[in-house]
Each structure stands twice: as C-alpha cells, then as structure tokens.
Structure 1
Amino acid sequence: MGGYCGYLANMGGLAAGADAAYIFEEKFDIRELQANVEHLTEKMKTGIQRGLVLRNENSNENYTTDFIYQLYSEEGKGVFDCRKNVLGHMQQGGAPSPFDRNFGTKISAKAVLWISKKLKESYRKGKVFANTEDSVCLLGMRRRNLIFQPVIELKDETDFVHRISKEQWWLKLRQLMKILAKYKTSYDVSDSGQLEHVHRPKEVECGTI
C-alpha cells in the first residue's frame, strides 16, 4: 500500500528490523538490489536465520514485487528460500489501540471547537462568509502539535501528480535501517545535520546521530 508514498514501507521496515525497504522517494537500481541480496546471503550464513524485504506499492514500475521475489529466490538458492506476501488492505481495520482512541478524541474535539469558532467569526446578518484563507484548513500533526493549516498553503508543499508531500521528514531515518541491519558501511553527520553515507567495505562504523 501507500501509493507513491514510502512512509509505510520505511517505518514498517524500521519497526520490524527489515534488511531493505524499496520506496518511490529513493531511487534504486539493479546494483543496489544486488548489494542487498549479497548482504542477506552473508547474513543467512551466520546465526541470524531470518530476513525481511519490503517494497512500496509504486516504488518502481519495472522492479515489481514479483521481480524482486524471483531475484532473491534465484540468488538465495542453497542459502535461503523466499516467501512473498502482498499485504494490501489486510493492514487496515481491527480494534483501535488506546493511542488510536485517545488521538481520535483529541483531533475530533479540536475540529469541532475550530468549526464553532469559525462559524461565529464568519456569520454576519444571517449569512456565512467563508472566503478567507483560513476558512479551509487541514488538521494534522506537526512537531507533536495539532495544527490547522490553510489548504492554499499546502498547495506549494504538495506533489499533486504523486499525491505526496514535496518534503518528507521521515527520509532522514532511511539510513538507520542499514545501520540496524549491520550493512558494511559508515555513516557520519554532515554540518547540515543530514546523515551521510560513506562506503567502507571491511568495517562497520556508526557516527553520532
């Protein structure tokens, strides 16, 4: 699932300890697929007898789920075998968690209060004048705060073709997956605060995050 947005695949991969998560926002090619297969093969020869690879719904039109499954199956012969599962809408539904109930109550209460306030502000002489920018807003969470943001402001931040945000904050967490999966690479933090990837073939070093 996710369409062109790799958030579900990326965060799911971090939570489950995935070896790789292929997403639309970060382009990948056959060389990276080969490196991932080789990494998984070497890992399977140790005491860790499990692997997990995730693929976002529209991550690549040619490197499909079937292609990746067949690639890993072929290259892993004699070392590991593969099973494929397309989750689809199986991820949805189920009993809400305490967090879900609490979050739902908070945003619904905040939305009703906001609507009531805007109706009072825009009601004049028996008519409602909802012609200001902040009369059409989207309620969402930013930096742990629930914020009403005018839709017109979101226009400049949105990739309407792919229905995703132009700036994805969670992409900064991408390199953590390779660190946790113990790839033979080194990561340092640049002056801008971004994680930089440096290939080191013989050792694993982790910079301060």
Structure 2
Amino acid sequence: MDLFSGKTSYKGWLYSCRGHVGAPACGMNAAVRSFVRNCIYRGDTVLGVHDGMQGLTEGHIEEIKWSDVTGWISQGGAFLGTNRIVPTPETLPLIAEQIRKRNIQALLIIGGYEAFQTVLTLAENREKFKALCIPIMCIPATISNNVPGTDFSLGCDTALNEITEICDRIRQSAQGTKRRVFIVETMGGYCGYLATLAGLAGGADAAYIYEEPATIDDLVQDVKHMASKMATGGISRGLILRNEKANENYNTDFISNLYSEEGKQYFTTRVNVLGHMQQGGSPTPFDRNMGTKMAAKAVEWFIDKLTNEKNFSTPHSAVMLGIVRRQYRFTPIQELKLYTDFKHRIPCQQWWLNIRPLLRILAKHESTWTADEGMTVGVDENIEAIV
C-alpha cells in the first residue's frame, strides 16, 4: 500500500493513500509507478504504506520518490507488499485514526475481491468515523477476474498467457507418444474466467467451471466424445481444463480417474495442477498499459473530487474504476452490492459466459453460439471512453 501527500497547484494540500489488498497480480507495480509519478509531476509527496491495510493500521509508511519506482513497470508481484486482510470492527478505529492523524484526503486501493470488500466496508462506516469521509477508489487487480464492476482486472491477462503457454508446452510434450489426455487445474476460486478463456485459446476439449455445473452424465458424455475423437478423428492428444472450485465432489482427481477408467482402451491420462505459476511471470503489455492508464485516471478523478466537491459521504465518492465494454467506468462501490454473489465472491453477471458455447463448438460438441455484447452495470454518466 502506498500513500502520497503534498502541496499542489490546486486548492491547498492534496493527500492520498493507495495500496494493495488481496493476492499479488501482475500490473500492480505498473499502476503504482504510474500513480506515484503522476502525483510527483503535480507537486505531491508520495508515501508508501507496506503490507496493505495492516500496514496502514500499524503505520508502516515511508516516502516514495520518483526514482524509487524505476523499473517497476516490467516486474510482477507487488513490491509494496500485500495481504488478504480486510478492515474489521476492531481495526476500523485504528485505520480512521491513521487517516485523521496524517490528514489523508483521498484513498486509492489496488487489489482483488478483498480490495472491493475493503472499500465497501470503509464506505459503509463513514457515519461512525468522519475521517473516512474522503474520496475512495478501488482499481481491480486479480488474476481471477472476479471483481464486480469491471470486465477485466489487472493481472488476468498475464495469468491467461501463462496458462495458455503452459498448456501448449504440456501438449507438445506428448508429441510422438501414444494417445493421451491432459487434465489441467487452474486457479480462480469460484470464477471460471481463466479455465474458460485458456480453454478457448488453447483448443481445449472441455472446461469445467462452477458457473456451469457439470453432472455425472455430462462428464461421461465428454469422456465418450473424447474416446470417439481418439478412435476415429485422427486426434492423439486431448486437453481438459478444470477450475479449482468447479465442483466440491467432482474434483480434479475424480475427473482424472473417470477419464482414465472409461477411456483406457483409447488413451492414457495425466494430471497437472498449475498452482501459483499462474501468478508469476512478467506482466503482458496489456496489463502494463492498463495499470498505467487506470492509475493516471485515478489521479485525475481525485483531483476533480477534491477541487469541485465538499461532501465526501455520498456513494459517488467511493467508486470502482473498471473497464466495461471498452470504456472506463466509475461505479459507486455500494451500488455493486446488488450485482455481487458474496458467498462465492463473484459478480452475478459475467460477460465471458456468453462465449462458452463457442468452446464446445470448436471441440466438436453439439452447441449453439450467438454473438452478444454482454451485460453492464453502473451509471451511464460515469463512463469515459478508453483512448
């Protein structure tokens, strides 16, 4: 987490605090670099708060200068440190005290679902703690892409590239061998974005996710379909992707055993659990540019709020900065409660579900697909086109 403060060319002093809450994701460092340098360019002083909300609570703060973020744009992970700790009734008074003591006037948090929860908690406790009546923004950053209010999160493109490349290597490793099916488990919690998009990009035969529950009949049908392609279609390698929480009972070992037993006359089966390899690597150009531009937009939003508004207890002063249908959208965080499945930590509507039939069509399954621009949430007047 990092914090910036200092004298500016606008009214008086501008203080802002930004940080990471959740798991590391590629693009976080690029966003920090952009935010820090945009602030310093305007004459502000930037302080860094390490280890997320816990660091803010305990006062782990230090100044960040222009040269301190040199080279960050190409680095994965989170140099400032991050964790999944969110504010609690016990820590909220300490957080409010740090904000009051340091005269912080704006707060930016970069992170995943926990960051969304953090901003929501802070916004809903403004009546109890007046120090929280400041502009607050969340920039989504998680490989799972499970944050409401945005179509894409920082890090999900890099993770998708990593999974696709690994799957390509896995299939290549079986070249020249007898017929073989690979079962690959991806991360993502209850969100099947990575499994679906990696399956589409990698030519998978199936991708099992929580959002579309698969019955035992579906699994058996997929095994028979795979065996048929192996026997008559001239195919020697198969790829099955499974999201880590697709089904509590039909886990990766179960699917592997099912394919091994029912298809033993036609192919062998191998399992690969990718784990935290998906979080590593260098950020893709998409994530680097997205983080850079969103952080710059955040600075502009803070300046506009601090110079043109006085009441920061309204829902429109605590927002999610997302990308929805190729546009920047500032959505009040409290409005997003209506579009969130809190039990499973996913948005109620996800655009990529519309393209899942295409994955089955390309794998020779019977299915239909209709192009759909997808669903959106938020308020139209808070949209800015991406340039």
Q: TM tier, shorter chain? A: 0.7 to 0.9
Displacement of 1:132 in angstroms is 1.2
Q: Which residue of 1 aligns with 2:333?
A: 151
- The 5 Å alignment of 1:7-156 reads 7-45=193-231, 46-123=233-310, 129-156=311-338
Distance 1:93 1:188, change over 3 A: closer
C-alpha RMSD over aligned residues: 2.0
Secondary structure of the corresponding residue to residue 195 of structure 2: helix
Q: Tell me the distance in 2 between the aligned counterparts of 1:57 and 1:10.
A: 12
- What letter matches 1:26 in structure 2? E
1:167 counterpart = 2:349: yes
Q: Which residue of 2 aligns with 1:199?
A: none
Secondary structure of the corresponding residue to residue 155 of structure 1: helix
Moved more, 112-121 or 151-160: 112-121
Distance 1:186 1:156, change over 3 A: closer
Q: Tell me the distance in 2 between the aligned counterparts of 1:173 and 1:189.
A: 8
Where structure 2 has 5 or more consecutive residues not aligned to the other structure, the ranges are: 1-186, 375-387
- What letter matches 2:305 in structure 1? K
Distance 1:80 1:58, change over 3 A: same
Secondary structure of the corresponding residue to residue 322 of structure 2: strand
Displacement of 1:97 in angstroms is 2.0
Q: Tell me the distance in 2 between the aligned counterparts of 1:152 and 1:25.
A: 24
Q: Which residue of 2 aligns with 1:178?
A: 360
Q: Tell me the distance in 2 between the aligned counterparts of 1:164 and 1:100.
A: 21
Q: Tell me the distance in 2 between the aligned counterparts of 1:57 and 1:186.
A: 25
Distance 1:188 1:23, change over 3 A: closer
Q: Tell me the distance in 1 between the aligned counterparts of 2:218 and 2:367.
A: 16
TM-score, structure 2 length as denominator? 0.46
Q: How many residues align?
A: 187
Q: Which residue of 2 aligns with 1:187?
A: 368
Displacement of 1:36 in angstroms is 0.4
Does the 8 A contact of 2:357 with 2:369 survive in 1? no
Displacement of 1:169 in angstroms is 1.6
Q: Which residue of 2 aligns with 1:6?
A: 192
- Percent of aligned pairs sharing the same letter: 57
Q: Tell me the distance in 1 between the aligned counterparts of 2:341 and 2:356.
A: 21
TM-score, structure 1 length as denominator? 0.84
Displacement of 1:187 in angstroms is 2.4
Moved more, 72-81 or 24-33: 72-81
- What letter matches 2:364 in structure 1? K
Q: Tell me the distance in 2 between the aligned counterparts of 1:172 and 1:2.
A: 18
- What letter matches 2:354 in structure 1? K
- What letter matches 1:181 in structure 2? A
Q: What does the per-residue CA deviation read over 1:100-154, in whole Å, with 9 as the maximum and x for residues that have no partner? A: 221111111111111121122345xxxxx42011110011110001111100110
Q: Tell me the distance in 2 between the aligned counterparts of 1:142 and 1:156.
A: 17
